[in-house]
Homo-oligomer: A and B are copies of this chain.
Amino acid sequence: MKAAPSQNAVTGQSLADRLFETLRGEIVEGRIAAGSKVSEPELARRFEASRGSLREALMRLESLGLLERRVNVGARVVDLTERGLLELYDVREALEGMACRLAASQRTDADLAELRRMLEHHEQQEELRAGTAYFQPEGDFDFHFRIVQASGNDLLIDTLCNRLYYRVRMYRYQLGMASPRAQRAFREHSHIIEAIEAGDGDLAELLMRRHIRASRQNIENKLR
């Protein structure tokens, strides 16, 4: 009989991994305020972990772009700026446009079925709250997430899903961008998937870029 295994062996991830995920959630949801300074000893006490493991988590958060660290000074949560948000939209437009193009040329039956199923699910939820101006952020998120997965490009998937999307969610949570574009966005999603089904990469990319650019324009107008 082996000794009681640590949490490490059970979950297949290290303590630093768990700290990283926990802190990532708190930063994204704003429980740790944007722009605020984070103290290593304070967090180490709070999570009852050593500073070493915590530093590892902080370093990963830095590589995610959620934290900024300066030598001998410490780490701060990035602050949410209008410029940063618009920059995010431009990069997403480029990458998700490419994801659509690739998804259209490399599509599999499984991907298409998944996309169709998701769209029907969203349609259902959409009808339930028809008329409300509230936009389902998770539904929109699902859509973009699945499209990127269907691109089959691991580098693209990693860049968007493991890096940029956390920043996207951070802006969504904290600037609370409820969008009145619900119905229009849904139709746009539908058209994008149709283009992917048809294997029309050019059109799929064009529609996705328009979709994201419209969302960006919407935000830009609201901020002024």
Residues of A within 8 A of B (CB): 8, 12-14, 17, 52, 55-56, 59-60, 63, 65, 71-72, 84, 87-88, 90-91, 93-95, 97-98, 102, 153-156, 158-159
- Whether A91 lies near B87 (C-beta < 8 A) is no
Q: Could you write out 22 A-B pairs with CB less than 8 Å apart?
A: A8-B71, A12-B71, A13-B71, A14-B72, A17-B71, A52-B52, A56-B56, A59-B59, A65-B155, A65-B158, A87-B153, A88-B155, A90-B102, A91-B95, A91-B98, A91-B153, A91-B156, A91-B159, A94-B97, A94-B156, A95-B95, A159-B159
Rounded to whole angstroms, the CA-CA distance of A95 and B211 in the bound complex is 18
With a cutoff of 8 Å between Cβ atoms, the chain B residues found around residue A158 in the complex are 65
Contact (Cβ within 8 A) B98 A90: yes
Cα-based distance from A158 to B158 in the complex (angstroms) = 15
Residues of B within 8 A of A60 (CB): 59, 63
A90: B residues at CB distance < 8 A: 98, 102, 153, 155-156
A-B complex: 4 closest residue pairs judged by Cβ atoms: A63-B63, A94-B98, A94-B94, A87-B155
Q: Complex Cα distance A195/B218, Å?
A: 29
Determine whether the beta carbon of B63 is less than 8 Å from that of A155.
Answer: no
Report the Cα distance A24→B97, complex, angstroms: 31
Complex Cα distance, B98 from A90, in Å, reads: 8
Residues of B close to A59: CB separation below 8 A: 56, 59-60, 63
- A95 to B94 CA separation, bound complex (whole angstroms): 6
Q: Which residue of B lies closest to A11 (CB)?
A: B71
CB <8 Å contact, B91 and A155: yes
A154-B87 CB under 8 A given contacts A60-B59, A63-B63:
yes
Which residue on chain B has the smallest CB distance to residue A64? B63
Specify which of A63, A155, A159 lies most central, judged by the most chain B CB atoms within 10 Å of its CB: A155
**Chain B residue contacts of A72, Cβ below 8 A:** 8, 14
What is the distance, in angstroms, from A144's C-beta to the closest C-beta of chain B?
15
CB-CB nearest in chain B for A9: B72
Residues of chain B lying within 8 A (CB to CB) of residue A153: 87, 90-91
